Amino acid sequence: MNKNISHPIGIRFGAAAMLVFVGCSLDIGIARPWASTSPDAGTNGGGSMAEGGGGAVGIGGSSMAEGGGGAVGIGGSSMAEGSGGAVGIGGSSVAGCVDGAAGAVKETISIGAEETVMIGTTGLPGSAFKGDTSLRLCNFLDKQVAYNDDAACNLNTGSLISFTSPYGVSQDFVLWVGCIDTPCGPNAVRIARRDPVVFSYAFQDANSTAEQTYTLEASQYIRVSTCGYAADGAEAIGDTVLRLYRDVEGTWVYVAGNDNTSACQGQCELASMIQYVVPASGKYQVRAGCATDEACSGTVVLYRQ
């Protein structure tokens, strides 16, 4: 029995190297919680998408929805501890956020109480970059809490941060977007917010499913996954499968599905991910299970843009 494990996004704590950023042209497309952002096609490895009239955007899976869109690959790169490829989370002792970086663009964003977000110039629908970008997130004490140069989920020079707020109330954070090299840009930053409902399952075969219902809003772009590299907090052991259903007048109608995602250049192994543009507000149900008659387990997360 294969025990293929999808490892979560790499995390390192503590100090990060100070960098001097040069001129940077930027489009910051940051949505408020649960609001939709325009999922423009990314460049140079950014997360492009095809809507298909609210249908699924397949991520290299074998069981996409009817009329499924083209595959969207979210690249990957190896991560060494202390390197720019690491995703820094929660480092409270790092200064360097008072004046930001030379030539960097600053934006204030709100993160909810204990909310998990992913922020990137790559790896998220609508993100885009040109050149070598960096992301630095600072709290209200001017302390760096997250930093990334080259995303662990991408074989490119875009950046991707995953961060969970430690605060019990909503707080404003300052996001600095800079360039490692010049010229840099135009760049587009996107933010995805994780739904607080996360569920796990473990089955011995393909005959069982775990179900979770969510209320979604029209035009939201959602990502449902068991791959921790592509969706922080997710996990897969063995061969997982995900299916998405929509409540249509009291009947659950299948709208999207995925078995093996090609996200993160194969780092997700046998994990799954659905990307989907919500066509109409209402109830949607995620069903998760094993793709084969061998045992598997998973933790499922849903991100919204």
Name the percent of the chain lying above pLDDT 90.
47
Beta-bridge partner residues of 211: 287
pLDDT of residue 198: 97
Rounded Cα–Cα distance for residues 158 and 215 (Å): 32
**Domain CATH number, residue 225:** 2.60.120.380
Rounded Cα–Cα distance for residues 13 and 168 (Å): 21
Residue 283 belongs to a domain: yes
| pLDDT band at residue 19 under the 50/70/90 scheme | very low
Rounded Cα–Cα distance for residues 282 and 53 (Å): 16
Q: Is the pLDDT score of 237 beyond 70?
A: yes
pLDDT of residue 132: 84
DSSP H helix total and E strand total for the chain:
0, 21
Residue 260 belongs to a domain: yes
| Burial class of residue 181 in the structure, from the number of CB atoms within 10 Å of its CB (0-12 exposed, 13-18 middle, 19+ buried) | exposed
Beta-bridge partner residues of 295: none
pTM above 0.85, yes or no: no
Question: Per residue, what are the HEC states of 132-144?
Answer: CEEEEEECCCCCE
Residue 278 belongs to a domain: yes
Mean pLDDT of 195-202: 97
Query: Lowest-confidence range among 72-86, 101-115, 158-172, 182-196?
Result: 72-86
Pick from 171, 172, 119, 127: nearest CA to 148 = 119
Highest mean pLDDT among 6-10, 68-72, 229-233, 251-255: 251-255
Residue 51 belongs to a domain: no
What b/e readout covers 30-66, taking b as 16+ CB neighbours within 10 angstroms? Answer: bbeeeebbebbebbebbbbbbebebbbbbbbbebbbe
Rounded Cα–Cα distance for residues 118 and 305 (Å): 10
- Contact, 252 vs 246, CB < 8 A? yes
Q: Is the pLDDT score of 7 beyond 70?
A: no
How many domains, in total, are found in the chain? 1
Residue 206 belongs to a domain: yes
pLDDT of residue 242: 98
* Of 44 and 268, more confident: 268
Residue 290 belongs to a domain: yes
Q: Is the pLDDT score of 187 beyond 60?
A: yes
Query: Lowest-confidence range among 1-15, 109-123, 135-149?
Result: 1-15
Integer angstrom CA distances of residue 202 from 3, 154, 290, 299: 13, 29, 9, 9
Structure tokens at 113: 């109480």
Q: What is the phi/psi pair of residue 263, to 5°?
A: -60, 150
* Of 39 and 157, more confident: 157
Query: Lowest-confidence range among 60-64, 78-82, 180-184?
Result: 78-82
Sign of CA dihedral 63, 48, 128, 301: negative
Rounded Cα–Cα distance for residues 187 and 130 (Å): 6
Q: Is the pLDDT score of 64 beyond 90?
A: no
Mean pLDDT of 282-304: 97
pLDDT of residue 96: 54
Mean pLDDT of 127-143: 89
Q: Is the pLDDT score of 285 beyond 70?
A: yes
Residue 107 belongs to a domain: no
| pLDDT band at residue 51 under the 50/70/90 scheme | very low
pLDDT of residue 27: 53
Residue 44 belongs to a domain: no
Residue given tokens 């109830």 in the structure block:
283
Name, in order, each residue with C-beta under 8 angstroms of 4's C-beta and a sequence gap of 6 or more.
236, 237, 238, 239, 269, 270
Range of the domain at 219: 199-304
Q: Is the pLDDT score of 10 beyond 80?
A: no
